[in-house]
Structure 1
Amino acid sequence: MKRLIFSVIIILATLNAFSADIKLERVEPMFWWAGMKSPSLQLMVYGENISSADVSLEYPGVELVSASKVQNPNYLFVDLKLAEDVLPGKFDIQFKKDGKLVEEYNYELKARKNGSAEREGFNNSDVIYLITPDRFVNGNPNNDQVEGMKEKPNRKDRNGRHGGDLRGIINSLDYLQNLGFTAVWLNPVLENNMTQVSYHGYSITDFYRVDARYGSNEEYVELNRELDKRGMKLIMDMIFNHCGSEHWWMEDLPMADWLNNYPDYKITTHRRTVNQDPHVSEADRDAMTKGWFVPTMPDLNQKNPFVPTYLIQNSIWWVEYAGLEGIRQDTWPYPDKDMMAVWTERVLEEYPNFNIVGEEWSLNPAIVSYWQKGKINTDGYHCSLPCLMDFPLQDAVSRSLSEDEGWETGLVKLYEALANDFLYADPENLVVFPDNHDMSRMYKQLGEDKDLLKMALAYFLTIRGIPQIYYGTEVLMTHEGDEDGDIRAEFPGGWADHKVNAFTGEGLSADQKDMQRYLANIQNWRKNKAVIHYGKLMHFVPEDGVYTFFRYDEDETVMVVLNKNIEDKTLSTKRFEEITKGFSSGKDIISSTEIPDLSEIQVPAKSAMIIELK
């Protein structure tokens, strides 16, 4: 019945299109840039009966290729071809009916900033700080409630909006820099004008607008300017799989197949292995990739050729507009995988040194590695995705530090996890992390044991890959409940009524202050350590609750020791001679302790040592 109603509405709209007024409401992308590598630009033009208008423009180096009418007469998809030497400037796109001008849009091709195409993406030299913006710092209480935004602030509701914003993050950058972080990843900041539970950002209702309760597009650009001043980078969280159920186009879709399973939605099976399964049925594949993530997140149909073009251009627009240094792509295996391969190619065509990390939440490294650039898959699939989230390693660290030691349990899980690196085309380009916004905090996973958390952090900050730390880890943030709203709690000091302030130290316990110092010490040391960024890795099978690995290059060797035992251990280094030969002493950078004799090392109970060998 719903499909019939939708079809009738489209038919009636089409019949009335030639007699009704024409009104232009949106052009997306709103502007573009001269000098992009791809000459193609497709504009989504939206407005009442806009398809009944004839489109024209005149500007040197800009060719109007086509204006495609679709099922809904309120849309036109205008294809332009930009000459390689087209100059920045403005021109009018005219919409005429019976030769009479009825609407026009002043379009602009902006000049690209010098070096824009060569920008350096986040890499192994970085440590990323992950922030849930609504829960970090309320820098501007005046935007907590904004006219026209459906959900109002409610700090008493763990799933409500609490008021954190971009201004709060900008005001906190010195704190992050002093802790040694070099990159910031924000959970999505684009408009989520949903009736409820909109704080997380993953139900986008406008792909070109920052949510007004966070600030503005201009403030987002300001954030990255401030990061650039500090030599720090900005990573944007993007979602191609779905939009929010209250997105502006949901009341007037371009065409019936803009979404999958519309209007009678089906929830995805979440069986992500359909992408790799050589025996998969089409029915099972469709049930996963075409299903809605949840009822409030309609599934975008990337098989419709207009959808991928819209999404690809949107991501490039944000990279260029905001000066991004990275993208984190949500729910990587859920969209059409061929489209995702094309997307990575297009982004890296424009920005060859850029980095993109995909979220494939699987504990099986064979599944995760399938997507990485350079991976040779038996089904012939290849993608240009440079980086993935290393969920298998996160799970291994959590289990290894929680379990009793045994032949197949405890620290051996760390060894075995890294032994699977042969599956990856580029294991160094993985984001490694103790936790994130979707899981219980590592401090909680480890039974709120501060010493075990220190060991985990020392490991993630020295192992291969790009470390990411979730906000509040540095002050031992934890939670009683395990719902998302509990995990994503307010950062202490982020609101005027907080009695504990992580920025000033007021009200922090001795353990919390100690953890801040511990993290800052390692991370600021790490900043200038090429051996940790790009050095080779050699590790040794754990023995007696002690795991040892080395990072080394031509100039330096660093030894990392994890002692899980509840008593101090005397570690003989004889079995490590193949890499320690020629070194006689060292210095533990965590405790600043000199080690005059490297033949035996006293390792404190439940601790990590990071030893620069001499």
Structure 2
Amino acid sequence: MKRTVFSVIIILITLNLASGQIQLERVEPMFWWAGMKSPDLQLMVYGENISETDVSLEYPGVELVSVAKVQNPNYLFIDLKLSETVKPGSFVLLFQKENETVETYKYELKAREKGSASRKGFDQSDVIYLITPDRFVNGNPDNDAVESMKELPDRTDRDGRHGGDIRGIINSLDYLQDMGFTAIWLNPVLENNMTQVSYHGYSTTDFYKVDPRYGSNEEYRELNDELDKRGMKLIMDMIFNHCGSEHWWMEDLPMNDWINNYPEYKITSHRRTVNQDPHASQADYKAMVDGWFVPTMPDLNQENEFMKNYLIQNSIWWIEFVGLEGIRQDTWPYPDKQMMTEWTHRVLEEYPDFNIVGEEWSLNPAIVSYWQKGQRNFDGYECHLPSLMDFPLQDAVSRALRENEDWGSGLVTLYEMLANDFLYPNPENLVVFPDNHDMSRFFVQMGEDVELLKMGIAYFLTTRGIPQLYYGTEVLMSHPGDHHGDIRAEFPGGWADHDINAFTGEGLTSDQKEVQNYISTIQNWRKNKAVIHHGKLMHFVPENGIYTYFRYNENEVVMVVLNKNREGKTFPTERFSEIIEGYSSGKEIITSESISDLSELKVPAKAAMIIELK
């Protein structure tokens, strides 16, 4: 009897071990939605020896089209087709071996939110506030250190994690709304489970999971819900070019060409102009596009069809799950450009009024304009990217305000850069900005000259395009040198031990309070100004250190004057007659002062005037 019992136990253990050889670990995307415009859905399934199974399902309106087995037996790629009439609900994916079910996965098709497909993306009516989440506000100290995350917090390390999170951003929304911001763009919030320097977020280790040191997927969605209550928008920072070297799949890649130049990586040449250069060699193109950004950021191969679908579906999943109104795509010229065309097309097919902005860090507008939707390029390349970061204009503004006034320098630098707008199919949809997380703060660029900063901010808030300010610009955040960890310093008042608090005003200098109020005044005025959002722009050649331009439509004209001189200037306005004819007075919106006679204007030293003409 004992021998029989022992034999049964051995048989049961053997069966358990055998069944354990097939173990399902991941299905991505984890769920989807009924009623999407595209009927196609591809699931990436990961688990030990999962390719040894046969897959089946039964659900009205869901067709199992194909199951692809790849080089690694631990992966399957399942193609489904969803009918137009498929209903929200759940079905079971059966994984069988020799007619026995060894694994199951309950897959859900959720109901879409009402109006999801017609969501309105960020546009010229918005002012975007860019936040580096780890350095903004620590709203939940309990998630600073998470057991499953490799890097612990260290606020003494400028490259370390400091503890800012999504809860801190939610707690700060009233402040941002009062300041006049209407949209926020967060540097990446997805899991970055890297050993070190993970705070910036650009080394993704899980494309479907918010980093738990920031919060959860549900908290990210809560942030969007709170923004919606305030009529504000959320822009997600995405990276298709690379992942983190400690991404979960790096230990068990699906196939040899999932990552470019692996395992013997090569760093990209960073010669981005190979995308546009009519004389570029294929060798140089591949050296740029297929190289790794840095050694800890493996280059994703977007020419791999499974990788391409994975990334495209991931972006749509986040739009639908969170309720995003925009995407900022990192390192735009580095991924395969044909894939990027398909991505923008598929996103805009699902969400026609959505907006996407790409980062092409070039100071040449001919290079930047190559990517914008509607551009007719010499090589026939067509992209569907609606917006780009206007790096050429950022550089021009920074130089124009710092340079001495001369025939070829000073404000004319700005004037002539804006004259390049003919290169863009839609310059009004470019994102304009004084600084961001990768460059010196605008206050530093201006040599910590408060008046120059205010002039620059006034320009960015009234010129064509969609303005974006970096967190802390409104309180003159500064830094020594150009180290990214110093540029991305903690926002004053974001931690309990701060002596200075930008939210309450405690400890702020008079200059900081003045700039905070200055920006708030212009932005809150701007909110309801269609002439600034969608009006045309006419500018006049700068003269004697003064640059004048107008925003106008059928109903309204706004005059903006930038005076770089160290003294106030009075000048006649007759040269502007073609635009101001019929107007005799005005109101300056920063000071609320009335102007009774427009025949001449007196502009204060080193100042901007924004005048509603009457």
TM-score with structure 1 length normalisation? 0.97
Contact 1:203-1:243 within 8 A present in 2 as well: yes
> Which whole-Å deviations, capped at 9, do the CAs of 1:210-232 have from their partners, x for residues lacking one?
00000000000000000000000
Q: Which residue of 2 aligns with 1:218?
A: 218
Alignment of 1:307-386 (within 5 A): 307-386=307-386
For residue 445 of structure 2, what is the amino acid of its counterpart?
A: Q
Instruction: Determine helix, strand or coil for the equivalent of 1:262.
Output: coil
Q: Which residue of 2 aligns with 1:9?
A: none
Give 5+ residue unaligned stretches, structure 1: 1-16
Give 5+ residue unaligned stretches, structure 2: 1-16
For residue 377 of structure 1, what is the amino acid of its counterpart?
A: N
For residue 564 of structure 1, what is the amino acid of its counterpart?
A: K
For residue 183 of structure 1, what is the amino acid of its counterpart?
A: A
> Which whole-Å deviations, capped at 9, do the CAs of 1:45-91 have from their partners, x for residues lacking one?
00000000000000000000111000000000000000011000000
Instruction: Determine helix, strand or coil for the equivalent of 1:117.
Output: helix
Report the Cα distance in structure 1 between the residues aligned to 2:19 and 2:52, rounded to whole angstroms.
9
Report the Cα distance in structure 1 between the residues aligned to 2:368 and 2:18, rounded to whole angstroms.
52
Q: Which residue of 1 aligns with 2:57?
A: 57
Instruction: Determine helix, strand or coil for the equivalent of 1:320.
Output: helix
Residue 593 of structure 1, CA deviation: 1.0
Report the Cα distance in structure 2 between the residues aligned to 1:318 and 1:20, rounded to whole angstroms.
33
Instruction: Determine helix, strand or coil for the equivalent of 2:571.
Output: strand
> Which whole-Å deviations, capped at 9, do the CAs of 1:512-552 have from their partners, x for residues lacking one?
01111000000000000000000000000000000000000
For residue 36 of structure 1, what is the amino acid of its counterpart?
A: M
Q: Which residue of 2 aligns with 1:589?
A: 589
Residue 350 of structure 1, CA deviation: 0.3
Equivalences, count: 598
Q: Which residue of 1 aligns with 2:293?
A: 293
Report the Cα distance in structure 2 between the residues aligned to 1:88 and 1:45, rounded to whole angstroms.
22
Report the Cα distance in structure 2 between the residues aligned to 1:316 and 1:552, rounded to whole angstroms.
37
Alignment of 1:89-128 (within 5 A): 89-128=89-128
Q: Which residue of 1 aligns with 2:549?
A: 549
For residue 221 of structure 2, what is the amino acid of its counterpart?
A: V
Report the Cα distance in structure 1 between the residues aligned to 2:377 and 2:481, rounded to whole angstroms.
41
Report the Cα distance in structure 1 between the residues aligned to 2:291 and 2:262, rounded to whole angstroms.
10
Instruction: Determine helix, strand or coil for the equivalent of 1:406.
Output: coil
Q: Which residue of 1 aligns with 2:22?
A: 22
Report the Cα distance in structure 1 between the residues aligned to 2:414 and 2:586, rounded to whole angstroms.
25
Contact 1:374-1:425 within 8 A present in 2 as well: yes
Report the Cα distance in structure 2 between the residues aligned to 1:204 and 1:440, rounded to whole angstroms.
25
Q: Which residue of 2 aligns with 1:493?
A: 493
TM-score with structure 2 length normalisation? 0.97
Report the Cα distance in structure 2 between the residues aligned to 1:128 and 1:95, rounded to whole angstroms.
47
Contact 1:20-1:49 within 8 A present in 2 as well: no
Contact 2:328-2:356 within 8 A present in 1 as well: yes
Q: Which residue of 2 aligns with 1:199?
A: 199
Instruction: Determine helix, strand or coil for the equivalent of 1:428.
Output: helix
Residue 19 of structure 1, CA deviation: 9.6
Q: Which residue of 1 aligns with 2:185?
A: 185
Instruction: Determine helix, strand or coil for the equivalent of 2:81.
Output: strand
Residue 481 of structure 1, CA deviation: 2.6
Contact 2:19-2:102 within 8 A present in 1 as well: no
Q: Which residue of 2 aligns with 1:424?
A: 424
Contact 1:18-1:52 within 8 A present in 2 as well: no
Report the Cα distance in structure 2 between the residues aligned to 1:19 and 1:321, rounded to whole angstroms.
34
Report the Cα distance in structure 1 between the residues aligned to 2:105 and 2:299, rounded to whole angstroms.
31
Contact 2:186-2:236 within 8 A present in 1 as well: yes
Q: Percent identity?
A: 78
For residue 443 of structure 1, what is the amino acid of its counterpart?
A: F
Alignment of 1:28-107 (within 5 A): 28-107=28-107
The yes-or-no answer on 1:600 pairing with 2:600 is: yes
Report the Cα distance in structure 2 between the residues aligned to 1:579 and 1:412, rounded to whole angstroms.
20
> Which whole-Å deviations, capped at 9, do the CAs of 1:280-302 have from their partners, x for residues lacking one?
10100000000000000000001
The yes-or-no answer on 1:275 pairing with 2:275 is: yes
Residue 572 of structure 1, CA deviation: 1.0
Contact 1:356-1:387 within 8 A present in 2 as well: yes
Contact 1:240-1:329 within 8 A present in 2 as well: yes
Instruction: Determine helix, strand or coil for the equivalent of 1:374.
Output: coil
Report the Cα distance in structure 1 between the residues aligned to 2:76 and 2:341, rounded to whole angstroms.
26
Report the Cα distance in structure 1 between the residues aligned to 2:20 and 2:301, rounded to whole angstroms.
30
Residue 581 of structure 1, CA deviation: 0.5
> Which whole-Å deviations, capped at 9, do the CAs of 1:557-614 have from their partners, x for residues lacking one?
0000000000000021010000011110111101111110000000000000000000
For residue 376 of structure 1, what is the amino acid of its counterpart?
A: R
Q: Which residue of 2 aligns with 1:460?
A: 460
Q: Which residue of 1 aligns with 2:536?
A: 536
Report the Cα distance in structure 1 between the residues aligned to 2:308 and 2:542, rounded to whole angstroms.
48
For residue 571 of structure 1, what is the amino acid of its counterpart?
A: F
Report the Cα distance in structure 2 between the residues aligned to 1:511 and 1:483, rounded to whole angstroms.
25
Instruction: Determine helix, strand or coil for the equivalent of 1:258.
Output: coil
Residue 20 of structure 1, CA deviation: 7.3
Alignment of 1:204-283 (within 5 A): 204-283=204-283
Q: Which residue of 1 aligns with 2:519?
A: 519
